[in-house]
Amino acid sequence: MAQGRAAAGAEAAADDGNAVRTLGVVGAGTMGLGIATVAARAGLEVVVLEPDAAARERAAAKLGSVRVAGEVAELAECGIVIEAAPEDLDLKRAIFAELAAVVAPDAILATNTSSLSVEALASTVPDPTRFVGLHFFNPVKAMELVEVVVGARTDDGVAARAEALARALGKTPIRVADGIGFLANRCARPYTTEGLRCAAALDLEPARVDLACRLVGFPMGPFELIDLVGADISLGVGESFFRQSFGEPRWRPHRTLVQQVASGRLGRKTGAGFYAYGDDAPGRAPDPEGGGPDLLTDAARLEELAGPEAVAVVRWITAQLVNEAAFALEEGIAAEPDIDLAMRLGYRWPVGPLEIGRRLGFTAVRHRLVGMREDYGEAYRPAPRLGDFS
């Protein structure tokens, strides 16, 4: 198996007949190290470029046999280069301009960006057809999902080779279009935003919202997730979505999150967020027996286990999860089965959002959103063809 994967890895990196077997990784931070590690384990020859001397030393110690370089010229032989430098458009553009000047003209240039436009980065290289997004999830070793982000000019064969590389690394690639937040992060956005909104509108404690979500099978509730990710990071992503979309109401960051950041209670990393962390923190209450995704459509049982608020919370949040997935599907961001697969692999949801829609009935979800729109405004406008889905 390991040998088969190694051979497939070498093949994926081979460059159209030229036996280029080297993968370049730019940046030896969290993601670069993760990508280099899985690639080396899959049998690829890997060169990591890292300008910071201390980070280079740390990387060399962690990566063993992998070459860790300080100069971009050392990536000249790479058939594919994946950039995982800090999330800064100008910095990344400068990196790609330099890279394009040293690699072979037919080498594939890929970015691991999670929020910048692939097209905006592709425009810095002489041949944008060979540019693609390869969006890994953190931690790279554990997360199976890789989004292959296809820009307006990405060549189909280049996207196919990026997918082959992801598969050779033991990942499941999903092809997505270059839109705000790509696919998984976008479809996940309403989970936290609607958790915050419904808690405020229904006057519920975070723990009640989180419990309701866990009961229907989500691995953690929206408030627990914000505490894990960091309220500042979550708000930063929300602001970026809102700005890039010129003010889409669905993506307006919630005031509770803004207040949370202002208070400095950012979550686990500061020892306090919506919950307290540390040695004498109470910890999360155990879930009642009998939870699972079947409760998505069994309101009576859910109410029995956690009260009528739990039913209200699940109805609220799931309506908008289904809606966001429907918008993404209508906008051609990804194919229908891939949307559900991405959310199961990327966020460990018990079932994908379109499957949730199918179970609840898309027409019923649409009706719910029409009511929410009357009560709470344009953030709840249903995706135009939601009622036509089956």
**Under rule CB under 6 A, residue 89 binds ligand NAD:** no
Beta bridge partners of 102: none
**Nearest distance from C-beta of residue 217 to ligand NAD, angstroms:** 24
**Under rule CB under 6 A, residue 51 binds ligand NAD:** yes
Q: Are 256 and 194 in contact (CB under 8 A)?
A: no
**Under rule CB under 6 A, residue 237 binds ligand NAD:** no
**Nearest distance from C-beta of residue 55 to ligand NAD, angstroms:** 4
Using CB under 6 A, count the residues that bind ligand NAD. Answer: 24
Is 268 exposed, middle or buried (CB count within 10 Å of its CB: 0-12, 13-18, 19+)? middle
Query: Which of 9, 24, 27, 222 touches ligand NAD by CB under 6 A?
Result: 27
* Residue closest to 223 by CA, chosen among 191, 271, 188: 191
First to last CA, the chain: 39
**Under rule CB under 6 A, residue 84 binds ligand NAD:** yes
**Under rule CB under 6 A, residue 38 binds ligand NAD:** no
Q: Which residue has the tokens 């070498």?
A: 10
Q: How far is 130 from 333, CA to CA, in rounded Å?
A: 20
Q: How far is 285 from 37, CA to CA, in rounded Å?
A: 37
**Under rule CB under 6 A, residue 193 binds ligand NAD:** no
**Nearest distance from C-beta of residue 32 to ligand NAD, angstroms:** 6
**Under rule CB under 6 A, residue 307 binds ligand NAD:** no
Residue nearest to ligand NAD as judged by C-beta position: 29
Q: What angle do CA 40, 184, 142 make, to 5 degrees?
A: 30
**Nearest distance from C-beta of residue 135 to ligand NAD, angstroms:** 6
**Under rule CB under 6 A, residue 44 binds ligand NAD:** no
Q: Are 240 and 186 in contact (CB under 8 A)?
A: no
Question: Using CB under 6 A, which of the segments 28-36, 38-46, 61-69, 246-254 binds ligand NAD?
Answer: 28-36
User: In the numeric block, which tokens belong to residue 260?
Assistant: 């949370």
Residues 6+ apart with CB under 8 A from 91: 85
**Under rule CB under 6 A, residue 85 binds ligand NAD:** yes
Closest CB to ligand NAD among 228 and 364? 228
Rule CB under 6 A: which of 127-166 touch ligand NAD? 136-138
**Under rule CB under 6 A, residue 211 binds ligand NAD:** no
Helix (H, G, I), strand (E, B) or coil at 365: helix
**Which parts of this chain interact with ligand NAD (CB under 6 A)?**
26-32, 49-52, 55, 84-87, 91, 95, 112-114, 136-138
